[in-house]
Amino acid sequence: MRSTTAFGAEEPSISGVPRIVRELTSALHAARLSYCHWKGNARLQAAVVGRRDLDILVDRDRALALSAILATVGFKRCTSSPWTAVPALEDYLALDSDTGRLVHLHLHYRLTVGDGFLKGYRLPWEAMVLSTRQFDATMAMYVADPHMELLLLIAGKAITLGLIDRMAGWLGRPCMDALARSDLRWLAARTDPHRLAELSEGLLGKEATRLLLDIVSGEPSYRLLRALKRRAIPPLSAYRTYTPAGAVVRRGIRIVVGLAVALNRRILRSLVIPGRTLSSGGLVIVFEGEDENERATLVDRIAAWLTWKLDVLVLHGRPRNSRATRRKAFRARSRGMIVLYDGFPEGQRRDTGNAPERAWDADPPDLVIKLRRAPRPEPEGHTEVVTREGRPTRHNVDIDLDHSPEQVLLAVQRALWQEV
């Protein structure tokens, strides 16, 4: 059995670079692996501390070494629904053990761009982005050259112009949203027009470069973006991943699936609609404690913490139909979801002494979190169930509730993440 989780004396700070991110970048530097954070560098601090996604472009020739580094540092691979997955992009999650925040890493092997529902274009500029990267001493990581990032931002918007953008142009409104316009202004202040023109001419041609410079110095109007899309050499439409008809169908499906996943993750908690799950398989986490209110509050906070990025199912241990509930938990874990039990499942077998009547009876929880006011030794004769390979099939962790709610939450987050 694991010992009672220890607590730090100080509240963690999120002002600097989290330890997990420092360990990742240090390992990448030590392995001389070429990478950079390629978009959204105006908000890099928010991405580093887990408030936004980290978008890292890497050299795909070093994919094997990169996988080993991510596993060693502690990043866990996630799997998305086939209808929401993006080609040449992998999802990873890691826990910053100092703050309890989840750091979401988008690992890009190709530069795929598009709108919020379909990344339908691939720009073959990866080598240029990686060869011109710059080192950010504050974040201790490589980032894209602002000239390349600005070029990617404008080309990415031009490439995805649609009916809504055309209507905005008719009404005299900007085609870019406020966040994209803010990024454009931030990047324009850090670029040299001559250097930008030099890069752009090599990738888009002279005529498109003139339009790009007009956009940077003025406003990203629909007219200029549409002209840039058409006059680039080769035309930006040549970088399509799907045919026009195929893109319409795929975008429609992704819109429906995306809305369904968001609704399911926050409200329905159904097993029918897949979202993002753990590649290593699902988990069943049981919370035990005498105070039902404290236990329920903690389960809700853990569920809110996880549902930011993962599919979670919350169940109560003593419902009217316990057999149906345990069957639902079995199926959810088998599909890669994290199941949180508020109270030990009624009827769940705590040992494997006799052959089970049903498949879910032989599937003990991965982790039992015992909420106590003071640590107590296990009763005499307590043993863990062990597989043939010697690994415990159920772990127990004592959590001392005589600490602040934030410290208790952090201790549970650390214990849970060790099982992922």
Residue 69 within a domain = yes
Amino acid 261: pLDDT: 72
Q: What number of residues does the chain have?
A: 420
* Domain-ending residue, one of 144, 175, 202: 144
Residue type for 298, please? L
85: its two tokens: 């997955």
Amino acid 394: pLDDT: 60
* Domain-ending residue, one of 80, 111, 144: 144
Residue 249 within a domain = no
Do 171 and 70 share a structural domain?
no
Q: In the structure, how many helices (H) and strands (E) does the chain have?
A: 14, 15
Residue 174 within a domain = yes
Do 166 and 47 share a structural domain?
no
Peptide bond into 18 cis (omega under 30): no
Do 226 and 328 share a structural domain?
no
The pTM of this model reads 0.82
How far lies 227's CA from each of 150, 151, 217, 342, 403, in Å?
Answer: 17, 15, 16, 58, 62
Residue 318 within a domain = yes
Pairwise CA distance, residues 383 & 388, whole Å: 15
Residue type for 11, please? E
What is the CATH number for 347? 3.40.50.300
Amino acid 38: pLDDT: 97
143: its two tokens: 């980032």
* Domain-ending residue, one of 190, 216, 241: 241
- With DSSP H G I counted as helix, E B as strand and the rest as coil, what are the percentages for the chain, rounded to 5? 45, 20, 40
Do 4 and 130 share a structural domain?
yes
Do 128 and 2 share a structural domain?
yes
Give the number of other Cβ atoms within 10 Å of residue 222's Cβ.
21
Number of structural domains (the chain) is 3
40: its two tokens: 């959204």
Q: Buried b vs exposed e over 106-126: b needs ≥16 C-beta within 10 Å?
A: bbbbbbbbbbebbbbbbbebb
pLDDT average per 10 residues of sequence, the chain (420 residues) = 40 64 95 96 92 94 94 92 83 93 94 87 95 95 97 92 80 83 94 96 94 91 90 88 88 81 66 73 90 91 91 74 78 88 65 50 80 66 37 70 91 92
